[in-house]
Structures are given as C-alpha cells and as structure tokens.
Amino acid sequence: MKNVDYIVVGDGYAGLFLAHQLIKNNKSFVIFSEGRKSASQISAGIINPVVLKKFTTFWKAQEQIDFLKTSLKEIESYTGENYLINAPIHRIFHDENEQNLWLKKSGNEELSAFLDKKFDRLNGVKNDFQTGKVNQSARLNVNGFFSGLFNYLEKNDHLVKERFDYTKLNPSESVYKDFSFKNIIFCEGMGVKDNPYFSETAVIPNKGHHIKVKLSQPIPEDITIKKKHFLFPTGNGLYFYGGTYDRDQLHHHIDDSAVTQLINGLSEFYPYDFEVKEVHFGFRPTVKDRRPIIGRHETLNNLYVFNGMGARGILNGCYFSRDLFNFIENDIPLHEEVSSKRFQ
C-alpha cells in the first residue's frame, strides 16, 4: 500500500495549480491524468484583469494577478522555466464611443491600474479607432506549462497516467486500489458530471473553439490583439485565434458554425489572406454566478471538489488552490462566494 497525503483527480489548471500548492508545502501526492486534451490545454492562456465587453473588472482581480506572477516564479524554481509571456492585450476599439468609455473608466479607482490612457495604432491590422492597452495583462505559455509540469510530476513519481475509477474508491477506509490517502481532491472540470460523489456540482458546460492560422502578412509579435476574439503568435509560424462561447451545441465534435464565426471575426480586422491549419474545442466549466465551486463533501470529510473555473481557469485555478489548501490544512474558512455550500 502506498501512503499519500493527497490524491488529485484531473490534470487541468485546477489540478496542476493544486499540485503546485502540494509541492510547495512538501505534501506527498499522486495526480490522476487520463491523457485527454483538457479544456485547459485548449485554452488561449490569456491572463486578463478586465472584462473587455464593457471594460469592467472582477472580484480580487489585482490579488489574483499578483498571486499568479508569484506562483509562476515558484514553479520556475523546480521546472526551470517561467511560463509567463509578457504580451499585453491591445483591445481594438469599434468606434469613438468605446474610446470615450475606456477613457472614462480608466479614471475609476478599480480600473485605473489596468486601462492605459494612451491609445496605440497597430500595423498589419485594421484599427481605425486605435487600440487600448490592458496593463498587467499577459499570456501563459500553455504548452510549456503543461509539458513542463507533466515532466516534473512524472520524474518525481507524482503522475498516474490512468482514468480514476470511482467504483474502486473506498472513502470510509480512505483507500483507492493500492493507495491509502488522507485527502482526495476532484479537479475534473466538466468530467465531474461522471463523479458519483460530486455529480450535482452546479457547473454548466460552455463550448469554446479556437483556430490556428497561417497569416500571409505579419502582425506585431510582442502583444495580444483582441477584437471579438484573441489573436497572437504561437511560436511555430502559426497564430491562435479564438475562443468562441456556446451553451447549446454541446456535442463532442467541431461545429462548422463556430469555425465560420472565427473566420469572419478575423477577416473583420485582418485584411490579408490567411489559412486555417487547425481547429480545436473544449468545454469551460462555468457557474451561474461566475465564481468557482470549492468545498468538502457533505458527509465524507476527506473528499473535496475544486471546480467551476469558468472562462478564467488560470487566475481562478491558481488563486483558489491556495484557499482550498488552507481550508484543508489550516481550517481557514473558504470565502462564502466560492464555497460549494452556497448551492447546498
């Protein structure tokens, strides 16, 4: 029997940022990965403190950004690489009204640190009304983050490459196959619906597509462009463009309508030829109140859920993994806003 402090089920942002908390606090653990491409691996990797529809911000945005940057430095100390890409978002304005709204909002206390007052004109794309820069925004090197952490976890015998079989779990004995554990944390994204212990978790799937394109004419490489969707280089001669949002088309294959939406969206501001090279999709685990769902099972005290990362898996996964760790290890109560109790 292998004794571990923690079993973690799921290898997306929730699972891996939690693993970082366990590494940082010298806890013994294994993480189950079924080897599928998670929504996290499909994600754009955008780190953004501003909701770019109406130029608003969200709860704890500054704290989350600061904590992420600290955490990525800590992860660098054992993976050897910092996965932060300092390529700020430049939001293309649709019209003068948007320019005025941006300037007005940049005077608000909660937004002044994020909305740059100086507008920029970009080469290579259509931006008649210029662009606004989102200060402190950046990207995560998604491929680097996942391959770097998977390598570390595998080398240190933390990674179990198999699907966690719920029928083999004996929660009252704290035993799973040949593992005995103190705590088990489920970080399955939309996969939680197949988990008999937490299938009632109130997450709603939101399907997102992105395309990888080959551009015929160059665009600025050191920034992230945003109009309807995000456009940026992925470092292999291709560019990421996406992602879409869809609560209805929830089947597990590509929607041509989403691809058309992306091609039209890119054509709106990129006036040159481009070629679609790849199409990918994934399911965001969203929540009605846009806050994660974190907590302990109602009757089985050492079973936990960490889900509902929504459209901000990086910031939510990183920030609230610490809150969950402190809740389990140091009895520090969870914020009511993220506690699973709010749905019980």
Residues that bind ligand FAD (CB under 6 A): 9-15, 32-34, 36, 38-40, 42-46, 163-164, 187-189, 191, 208, 210, 242-243, 282, 284-285, 307, 309-315
Q: Could you tell me the smallest distance in angstroms from the CB atom of residue 249 to ligand FAD? A: 13
In this structure, which amino acid lies at residue 135? N
Please report how close the Cβ of residue 284 comes to ligand FAD at its closest, in angstroms.
5
Q: What's the CA gap between 138 and 133, in Å, rounded?
A: 11
Cβ 100 to ligand FAD shortest distance, Å = 27
In whole angstroms, how close is the CB of 139 to ligand FAD at the nearest point? 8
Amino acid at 110: E
**Cβ closest to ligand FAD, residue 131 vs residue 206:** 206
Minimum CB distance to ligand FAD, residue 253 (Å): 14
Closer residue to ligand FAD, CB minimum distance, 128 or 194: 194
- Closer to ligand FAD by CB, 125 or 309: give it: 309
| Beta carbon nearer to ligand FAD, 130 or 302 | 302
Q: Is 170 or 217 the residue whose CB approaches ligand FAD more closely?
A: 170
For ligand FAD, the closer CB: 132 or 208: 208
In the complex, what is the shortest distance from the CB of residue 79 to ligand FAD, in angstroms, rounded to a whole number?
A: 18
